[in-house]
A and B are shown apart, each in its own frame.
Chain A
Amino acid sequence: MQTKLVKNRKDSDKIVISISSGTCGQARGSLNLVEAFKKAIKGRENKISIKVTGCHGFCNAEPNVVIFPNEVFYSNLKPEDAAKIVEATLKGEIVNDLLYQENNKRFTHFNDIPFYKAQLRTLLGDNPLIDPVNIDDYLAQGGYKSLVKALKMEPGKIIEEIKRSGLRGRGGAGFPTGLKWEIVRKQKGDIKYIICNGDEGDPGAYMDRSILESNPHLVIEGMIIGAYAMGATEGWLYVRNEYPLAVKNLLVALNQTRKQGLLGNNILNSRFNFDIKMAKGAGAFVCGEETALIASIEDKRGMPKQRPPFPAQQGLFGKPTNINNVETWADVTRIIDKGADWFAGIGTKTSKGTKIFSLVGKIKNSGLVEVPMGITLDKIVFDIGGGAQSGKEVKAIQNGGPSGGCIPKELFNLPVDYESLTSAGAIMGSGGMIVMDENTCMVDTAKYFTNFLQSESCGKCVTCREGTQRMYEILNNITEGNGQEEDLTLLEDLGKVVKEVSLCGLGQTAPNPLLSTLRYFKDEYLAHIKEKKCPAGVCKALIRYTISVETCTGCGLCKKNCPQDAIEGEKKKLHVIEEDKCIKCGICFDVCKSNAVNKITGKEGVLCLK
């Protein structure tokens, strides 16, 4: 079997066009691009071939292709570009116009682009080389090499190796993985379970989806290794049903793995039996929490349970269970392959290895970035992300999903590791990183995330259910201009109690957006409460629009576009907004070509930031 695995690792000198076609690529039209390329290479399949891969990680450049072996990167393609690229590539030329461009500089090669250059893509790096529904592609990249290696090791040695690597759970809490495995291994009993937590519910985070749909075998391999190390007999892949491509690719991958004898009875003649089942999540955010996830697999209502007993002692169906995040399982495969020392060599003293963040929000280069732990936020936001869109100033980032915290720009020299983020009031979380610029109101941000959490709380414990609802109520009051100064003390008291008292991780982190914005942006709260001002010009109740007497040209564009007919004025004469009709949608502000519409806030009418 091993020789067969090795034989599959063939290198080919054929030109391969790798088309990024994850869920995000498909949304940007990559499927049409695939069709166009198929047409373009017709008759020349012996020289050139196409590969439909998962996500390449660079959302702004979707749909894009990488052409191997020279690693030429073409971005933002349309179907009509396909023929041009194929012709040029066969001649050994490069289509300059379609290359990725940044700051008036064009980049030919994939790894020269600033977005990719500063990254360390140990998990995502193989994505452009792998067709997720073809196990041979994975094998060609050295796939299942780690499993072969692991099956020759003592289970205890594997756990020792994971412990030595310093790997910590990538789901957010950062519990040392090796330790968790050891606890499960030591439990008595014949039946043990392992679970892969792919219930990625954070708005704006999609690294787990990307791994699952682009490189499913990486996760499956990690799970088989883990099962062998812990003596588990059955594994569960818990994936959101909202990720149809991930579900499909995983099912295909599981079937292929079984056919190759890598799952099932007597895996690679090692007398080790293990199989993986799949469970699909029904869309509740709370089911990402370990005990709620277990309840969900057991066909019960997704509600967390008080620990102890921990899942490692009494988990799925009452048996010892180990749950790890998608990224953690993928890391396991790499650690066994390259060794614990390699992994421990990356990162900081307490946080090792790399971490994938989904860099989104008001940033120039949005996408998935995989960076070594300990990198500063500055580097991620400015070097990789290229700063804010259209020349605005970055104000803060929100890290760790809806229950993460906001970190202001002044702290961007903070190294990214579990401890630093927690001390700054945020969490590592699953790795969502939302960039906010000066047009973002921090009170509104806190309100937005608290609103998400109040509707996603399972409702079991009072502090999370009522606490988040009350936090939202008070924040909403403040954004509507009805806040009192004592509200801030109440919010702080309430936030602290919710954090300390709540049953599960959701409630314990739910006050983070509120508490972190209150800590770093108290002046904005006070502006809302005392001066009834929203400095960023977001909270509708506190802003109004006026038209400047000096600059209005009377073009009538605002009048034409106003959905409320709230603008009066004759052609070529000054236009006026009727305040009682205005719903503050801001369309006039956006369409005015002479910058005559002003957004003002507060009683004295201060101009908001443009």
Chain B
Amino acid sequence: MPKVKIDGLEFDAPEKWSVLEVARFLGLEIPTLCYNEGLSAWGGCRLCLVEIGTGDRTKLVTSCTYPAEEGLVVKTSSKRVVNARKMVLELLIAQCPTSRTLQDLAAKMGLKQVRFKPKWEKCIYCGLCVRMCEEQMMAKAIGFTNRGNKLKINTPFNKTSDECRRCGACMYICPVCTVRCEGANPKDVLCGRCENSLQPTCIDINDSYNCWMGLKGECGTCAKEKLTVK
């Protein structure tokens, strides 16, 4: 069993576990979007980033695809990670501000601004529907077409597919279709309605860990402390 060190916790990971699985097993929170337990890991949304390595030789990788290797040292929420995640989310939310899933993530991660012009698109190309259709429904009725700024998820040749059984699994799993956020404000794109008033500040204070208590930023102690100081 490969030994990994994740946010300071040493752990003997079972074979073939990903870093994300180890983190979740240990109760460490890593935001995900294009990941689903029942589907193969994709690594497209880049939200589950973690920092691996030590010293100067660290790099950011997606935890959903990275295997828990022998001797791996992982930080799940260093400043570098959090900043990168925020930029990723900023890009995503500017593309599709009406997704409740994205708005919730924004509130949770404390995203305060979106500096890009909103596109109001209806798809974020996370590929969940494509994998759902192929891997769970065994239909392979939809897929990616074209690339770059012309990328679409579509049936072959944009025609009604014989392979599609209209099971609706693609809609079920879509982070954009199913739960729409009605509160998105066209002016600043962020809705912010679900934001917890007690936002933890420990992410800003500690470089390596969410909270010195190891409580992954949910205890709210530091937020309360901040309030009393003020």
Q: In the complex, what distance in Å separates the CA atom of A284 from the CA atom of B61?
A: 25
Contacts of A309 in B (CB 8 A): 67
A side interface size, CB within 8 A: 34
Helix, strand, loop or mixed for chain B's interface? Answer: mixed
Question: Which residues of B, 66-97, contact A by the 8 Å Cβ criterion?
Answer: 66-67, 69, 80, 83-84, 87-88, 91-92, 94-95
Cross-chain contact A463 with B91 (CB below 8 angstroms): yes
Specify which of B91, B116, B144 lies most central, judged by the most chain A CB atoms within 10 Å of its CB. Answer: B91
Contacts of A493 in B (CB 8 A): 87
Question: Which residues of A, 456-475, contact B by the 8 Å Cβ criterion?
Answer: 456-463, 465-470, 473
Per-position binary interface string of chain B over residues 29-72, scored 1 when its CB falls under 8 Å from any chain A CB and 0 otherwise? 00000000000011111100100000000011110011101000
Inter-chain CB contacts under 8 Å: number? 92
Question: Which residues of B, 138-152, contact A by the 8 Å Cβ criterion?
Answer: 143-144, 147-151
Q: In the complex, what distance in Å separates the CA atom of A315 from the CA atom of B44?
A: 20
Contacts of B124 in A (CB 8 A): 462
* Interface residue? B226 (CB, 8 A): no
* Interface residue? B224 (CB, 8 A): no
Closest to A467 in B: B91
Cross-chain contact A490 with B115 (CB below 8 angstroms): yes
Q: Which of A49-57, A63-71, A259-267, A497-505 contacts B (4 or more CB under 8 A)?
A: A497-505
Cross-chain contact A463 with B66 (CB below 8 angstroms): no
* Interface residue? A308 (CB, 8 A): yes
Contacts of A33 in B (CB 8 A): none
Q: In the complex, what distance in Å separates the CA atom of A309 from the CA atom of B91?
A: 28
**Contact A497:B88 (CB < 8 A) given known A461-B43, A461-B44, A466-B95:** yes
**Contact A462:B147 (CB < 8 A) given known A306-B62, A470-B116, A500-B84:** no
Cross-chain contact A459 with B65 (CB below 8 angstroms): no
**Contact A301:B125 (CB < 8 A) given known A308-B67, A455-B149, A465-B148:** no
Q: Which of the residues A303, A455, A501 comes within 8 Å of B150, measured between beta carbons?
A: A455
* Interface residue? A494 (CB, 8 A): yes
Contacts of A500 in B (CB 8 A): 59-60, 80, 84
Per-position binary interface string of chain B over residues 132-167, scored 1 when its CB falls under 8 Å from any chain A CB and 0 otherwise? 000000000001100111110000000000000000
Cross-chain contact A463 with B148 (CB below 8 angstroms): no
Q: Which of the residues A284, A462, A469 comes within 8 Å of B88, measured between beta carbons?
A: A462
Question: Which residues of A, 277-318, contact B by the 8 Å Cβ criterion?
Answer: 284, 286, 301, 303, 305-306, 308-309
Q: In the complex, what distance in Å separates the CA atom of A493 from the CA atom of B144?
A: 29
Helix, strand, loop or mixed for chain A's interface? Answer: helix
Contacts of A453 in B (CB 8 A): 148
Q: Which of the residues B46, B116, B127, B143 comes within 8 Å of A501, measured between beta carbons?
A: B46
Contacts of A473 in B (CB 8 A): 116-117
* Interface residue? A403 (CB, 8 A): no
Cross-chain contact B149 with A460 (CB below 8 angstroms): no
Contacts of A459 in B (CB 8 A): 125, 144, 147-148, 151
Cross-chain contact B127 with A301 (CB below 8 angstroms): no
Contacts of B92 in A (CB 8 A): 462, 466
* Interface residue? A479 (CB, 8 A): no
CB distance from A216 to the nearest CB of B (A): 30
**Contact A501:B149 (CB < 8 A) given known A301-B144, A306-B66, A459-B125:** no
Identify 17 residue pairs between A and B in the complex whose beta-carbon atoms are under 8 Å apart, listed by A's number: A286-B147, A303-B144, A306-B61, A306-B66, A454-B149, A455-B149, A456-B148, A458-B147, A459-B148, A462-B88, A463-B46, A466-B91, A468-B148, A497-B87, A501-B88, A503-B43, A503-B46
In the complex, the 7 A-B pairs of residues with the closest C-beta atoms, listed nearest first: A459-B151, A306-B65, A455-B148, A466-B91, A306-B43, A497-B87, A457-B148
Interface residues of A (CB under 8 A from B): 284, 286, 301, 303, 305-306, 308-309, 453-463, 465-470, 473, 490, 493-494, 497, 500-503
Given contacts A306-B61, A459-B151, A462-B92, 18 further A-B contacts (CB under 8 A): A301-B143, A306-B62, A454-B149, A455-B147, A455-B148, A456-B148, A457-B149, A460-B43, A460-B44, A461-B43, A461-B45, A462-B45, A462-B124, A465-B148, A466-B94, A469-B149, A493-B87, A503-B43
Interface residues of B (CB under 8 A from A): 41-46, 49, 59-62, 65-67, 69, 80, 83-84, 87-88, 91-92, 94-95, 115-117, 124-125, 127, 143-144, 147-151
